[in-house]
Amino acid sequence: MPEGDTVWRTALHLDKALSGHVLLASDFRVPAYATLDLSGRRVVGTVSRGKHLLTRIGEGDEPVTLHTHLKMEGSWHLYREGTRWRRPAHEARAVLRTEEWTAVGFALGVVEVLPRAGEEQVVGHLGPDLLGPDWDLDEAVRRVTRDPDRSVGEAVLDQRNIAGVGNMYKSELCFLLGLDPWVPVADVPDVPALLRQAKRVLEANKLRTAQTTTGDIRRGKQLWVYRRDRQPCRRCGTPIRVAMQGPSGLGAGAEAESRQASQERATYWCPHCQPGPVR
């Protein structure tokens, strides 16, 4: 699943390409909106909220918002007229065309069009956004620490606590702070430092296509532990380990964050640099 910085950058590109332009055509390839036509309406802007994208369309009477979520496989592409699409047409879920650009959302996990006033229904449950204007360290600390027995890995991944951290950053942040991902939040010595580090990392990567936590953008050198199981730790040489973390099964509610927070996810760590109980 894309990290919050990837979604932020996607919003930036959509906003620059579409904002202020009138839709010449729209095509929603999902049953609920198959007959919806937004042509003739002006695109007001696109913003990210955690891992959600909100494209605001129309002004005056009945303005709407196109709410999309990339989930695991989704992406938005921008094409000039006549340019060949880089993904198969059968994967397209939303197409917005202006005079200059065609924006195509492929394999989107969520596509819904709602009244502008209803945005809070789909993003109001999210915690402070690490890359958003609503970032509030104190509120983020309050949310992360409200369940002191929960593992720190699960707590920072839960979008209802802080919005923007995905599975890759979860593992990398725990390594950077020397935290065993399974340690209870109550035993984390400095939760504010962890969240400040999360913000620094996402801010540093939000304009990069190649994310890095090591500071090295060369292929194979970018990350400390994520997807490096059995490879030597870059600091101490100990083999990196991987294990599933989080309660199995689906959580209550329909939100993607509720499901994500309740599913097991692969977690990577160095048992020497992040000491904890033997597993």
pLDDT at 254 over 60: no
Residue 264 binned pLDDT confidence (cut-offs 50, 70, 90): confident
Query: Cα separation of 212 and 205, whole Å?
Result: 7
Handedness of CA 196, 172, 255, 25 (dihedral sign): positive
Q: Which residue has the tokens 């709407």?
A: 64
Beta bridge mates, 65: 56, 114
pLDDT at 83 over 50: yes
pLDDT at 119 over 60: yes
Span 13-39, average pLDDT: 97
Q: Where are the domains of the chain?
A: 4-123, 137-269
Give the 3-state secondary structure of residue 113. strand
- Residue 109 in contact with residue 53, Cβ under 8 Å? no
Backbone angles phi, psi at 26, to 5 degrees: -140, 150
Span 248-263, average pLDDT: 45
pLDDT reported for residue 251: 32
Span 235-254, average pLDDT: 72
Span 109-124, average pLDDT: 96
**Do 4-123 and 137-269 fold alike per CATH?**
no
pLDDT reported for residue 183: 96
pLDDT tens profile 199-222: 999 999 999 989 999 999 999 999
What percent of the chain stands above pLDDT 70?
A: 94
The CATH class given to the 137-269 domain equals mainly alpha
Q: Is 3 designated active site?
A: yes
Selecting among 2, 42, 181, 255, the annotated active-site residue is: 2
Selecting among 41, 241, 259, 265, the annotated active-site residue is: 265
Span 251-271, average pLDDT: 66
Selecting among 3, 154, 255, 257, the annotated active-site residue is: 3
Q: Is 265 designated active site?
A: yes
The CATH class given to the 4-123 domain equals alpha beta
Selecting among 9, 42, 49, 51, the annotated active-site residue is: 51
User: How do beta strands 102-106 and 92-97 pair?
Assistant: antiparallel
Q: Is 2 designated active site?
A: yes
Q: Which position has the higher pLDDT, 29 or 60?
A: 29
Q: Is 206 designated active site?
A: no
